[in-house]
Amino acid sequence: MSDAVGCEMKFGVFLPPSAQNNPKEKLPVLYFLSGLTCTEANFTQKSGFQRYAAEHNLIVVNPDTSPRGLSIEGEDDSYDFGSGAGFYLDATEEKWKKNYRMYSYIVDELLSVVAANFAVDTSKQGITGHSMGGHGALTIALKNPGTFASVSAFAPISNPMECPWGVKAFTGYLGSDRSTWAKYDATHLVKEYNGPPLDVLVDQGDQDDFLKNGQLLPDNLLTASVGTKVKLQLRMQEGYDHSYFFISTFIGDHIQHHATHLNKKN
């Protein structure tokens, strides 16, 4: 039962073999935030991350994407708002503000619950995610300098204030005053970031229909990051779409990126 969102929340936890052999040893942890329509299960079943996490000795935690089953009117009406579409923010609109608090759920609750129940080294936490979850990973890392020593994203919604998915979600959860939106927009947050230097890896398929339809806008994030303490590497991957086939192809590179940065930090 989550205090932050007021319902039961599921998440996956992968423990590498060494955690079973030596349960007291504290290991680095990587959080993966999923995209629209996903539960915690999509990443576990489709990404193939396990062999890479085992190889690099990382614990991996993958939460669900929203509260569920609350009987809020409109909660299940569309794939891009409500259930499966929490957008990793704390809603302020009356109907949603009690439960749609995925930002607080991840930052204040999940990290503590994981640290209290598994042998994680909290000085070695990484965060990544896909699409809406890429937006979540980037915004959560940028808003909490020093909490995550490594950051990456797959096809993130990079500038939600300027895309249809983001405008719909932010209007619904935060209201129509756009001045309240920027604090959940990576392209705005990156310009203000003043924490430890971050090397961020972003992969994006060039045949991704959501890229073509202006939902993802990674170039806006890349441009905004120039001259900041965030060094962003945006890799355009030829022929790849938005699916988990794209994620499963590059998850090994991302886990390598996280392992390298997490193990640098002592």
Ligand X SMILES: N[C@@H](CCC(=O)N[C@@H](CS)C(=O)NCC(=O)O)C(=O)O
**Among residues 53, 89, 120, 132, the one that binds ligand X under rule CB under 6 A:** 132
Q: Does 131 bind ligand X (CB under 6 A)?
A: yes
| Minimum distance, C-beta of residue 22 to ligand X, in the bound complex (Å) | 34
How many positions of this chain bind ligand X (CB under 6 A)?
13
CA 219 – CA 128 distance, rounded (Å): 18
Interface residue with ligand X, options 16, 32, 33, 35 (CB under 6 A): 35
Answer whether 219's CB lies under 8 Å from 190's CB: no
Q: Give 27 or 202: the residue with its C-beta nearer to ligand X.
A: 202
Q: Is 242 in the active site? A: yes
Nearer to ligand X, 37 or 263 (CB): 37
Q: Pattern of binders to ligand X over 139-178, x per CB under 6 A? A: ----------------------------------------
Residues sharing a CB contact under 8 Å with residue 155, sequence separation 6 or more, in sequence order: 130, 131, 134, 203, 204, 205, 208, 210, 211, 216, 218, 242, 246
Q: Nearest CA to 54 among 101, 97, 12, 17?
A: 17
Q: Which two tokens stand for residue 110?
A: 């999940």
**Is 2 considered catalytic here?**
no
Q: Which of 2, 47, 131, 152 does the annotation list as catalytic?
A: 131
In the list 12, 13, 26, 46, the residue contacting ligand X (rule: CB under 6 A) is 46
Minimum distance, C-beta of residue 25 to ligand X, in the bound complex (Å): 33
Q: Which of 6, 12, 37, 249 forms a contact with ligand X (CB under 6 A)? A: 37
Whether 188 and 135 have beta carbons less than 8 Å apart is answered as no
In the sheet that 11-14 helps form, which strands lie side by side, from edge to edge? 11-14, 59-63, 27-33, 120-129, 150-154, 198-205, 230-237
Residue least distant from ligand X (Cβ): 35
x/- mask, ligand X, residues 234-253, rule CB under 6 A, reads --------xxx---------
Sequence-separated (6 or more) residues with CB below 8 Å from residue 87: 102, 132, 135, 136, 160, 169, 170, 173, 184
Strand partners, 32: 128
Q: Which is nearer to ligand X, 131 or 139 (CB)?
A: 131
Structure tokens at 42: 């999509």
- Stretches 2-10, 18-26, 127-135, 177-185: which one binds ligand X (CB under 6 A)? 127-135
Is 71 designated active site? no
Residues 175-234 that bind ligand X (CB under 6 A): none
Which of the ranges 89-97, 124-132, 171-179, 248-256 carries the binding residues for ligand X, by CB under 6 A? 124-132
**Does 60 help bind ligand X (rule: CB under 6 A)?**
no
Residue 83 in tokens: 């259930």
What is the DSSP annotation of 204-241? EETT-HHHHTTS--HHHHHHHHTTSSEEEEEEEETT--
For ligand X, the binding residues (CB under 6 A) are 35-38, 42, 46, 79, 130-132, 242-244
